[in-house]
Amino acid sequence: MNKPILRLATPNIISNLSVPLLGAVDTALVGHLEHVYYLGALAVGSVIFNFIFWGFGFLRMGTTGLTAQEYGKRSRFGMMMILARVQFIALGIGLLILLLQHPIAFFSLWLIDSTQQVAEYTRVYYDIRIYTAPAVLALYGLNGWFLGMQNAKYPMIVTIVLNLLNIVLNVTFIYGFGMHVDGVAYGTLISTYLALILAIYLFFKSYRKYLSHYIQTELINVDELKKYFVVNRDIFIRTLCLIFTFSFFTAVSARQGDLILAANTILLQFWFIASYGIDGFAYAAESLVGKFTGKGDQEKLKTAVFYNLGWGLALGTAGTFVYLIFGNQILQIFTDKQDVILQSQSVLFWTIIAPFVSSICYILDGVFIGATETRPMRNTMLAATFLIFLPVYYLATPLFGVHGLWLAMVLFMIARGLALGFYLPKTILNS
């Protein structure tokens, strides 16, 4: 079982780590500019797009689980029609986002109470990056489909090319043309559409024969669309809770001033780097659990679950040791501003323990997505958000200041893992 897990997980880890690498490079580039409010604008702009794009993450997650199950059944028709439907849905949502871009911007900036300078440059960033919407959602669907087809290589290629292009363009625009957050936004816009072209090319290179199984009249199949949206409704609610938690975290940081916002933005990059690495095994769990669910092979499904949990916990432990030993040195990469570094160091402990305590919930998310058992994911996320994160924040922050905010985030992750672990035996393992 280790061989197929590593075959899927290794490309996923490599591609996933390029995502926070991009965020880290952007943060470092903007963090070395003259004004702190540029970094605040990047943080607030990222929160807005997390809401917009992460909310539709089901286009990736739901597609992987459903495609993997059709792959296990060896149904080429089922595999092809899932891809056709997800692209149809992605195009519709992408165009709707563009139509509603101005109300979305107004509401988002009203909701996040930042300084005038941060709000001004956030809008500059937003007005450019919003046009990535159709391409981002189409890529979600294609990468999810590739993973469901047990192909982690193509998402790795697409993601790495996307993020390397983005980094090169961002550096060029900022240092070559003297731009700021607008340079980061233009870099993202151009690289996203180039990556979509690459993904379409890879599909035609290896899966062109599946097009013969496409049936136009089955595209709007009410029963199949209902099945897709029932699965993805729960993922959507789960993802909204996750977005709300991180967005609330950033909004609260913004209200506490540009210094705390800048420091917390940098430390969140540490969290994202660790989470995207561990998610390599979560994605492997999605693919394998989905395939074995489709085949009806319960023994291999159980083996896949426990092996992925072991690998995820090991990687999370390694991440904690890396942050413990090199955390202060990594901070120096992100910014040269001593006040931001000192503020970050004062709460670094919470980031050090994050990879270890969060690893279980990341892997179990992959397990439940692969099995398309999405209701427990929804329920546990609602409980972790509204019964753990928010109460702990409101109780602990008056006592411990910014440490209370970080405590709430850590307990939120622990609660997710424990709650999903409670559901695991009866829902997935049938024991």
Q: How many CA atoms lie within 13 A of 215 on its CB side?
A: 9
pLDDT of 323: 94
The Cβ of residue 215 has, within 10 Å, a number of other Cβ atoms equal to 12
Rounded Cα distance between 347 and 94, Å, is: 38
pLDDT above 80 for 335: no
Q: Calculate mean pLDDT across residues 326-332.
A: 87
Query: pTM for the full model?
Result: 0.79
Residue 93 DSSP SS3: helix
**Cα separation of 40 and 377, whole Å?**
32
- The helix/strand count (H/E) of the chain reads as 18, 0
Q: What is the pLDDT of residue 178?
A: 80
Calpha distance 392→16 (Å, rounded) = 30
152-177 pLDDT, tens digit per residue, is 899 999 988 998 898 899 889 988 88
pLDDT of residue 24: 67
For 4-18, what is each residue's pLDDT tens digit? 788 888 887 877 666
Whole-angstrom Cα distance, residue 390 to residue 248? 9
pLDDT band at 336 (very low <50, low <70, confident <90, very high): confident
For residue 53, the model assigns a pLDDT of 82
Q: Is the pLDDT of residue 50 over 80?
A: no
Q: Is the pLDDT of residue 21 over 70?
A: no
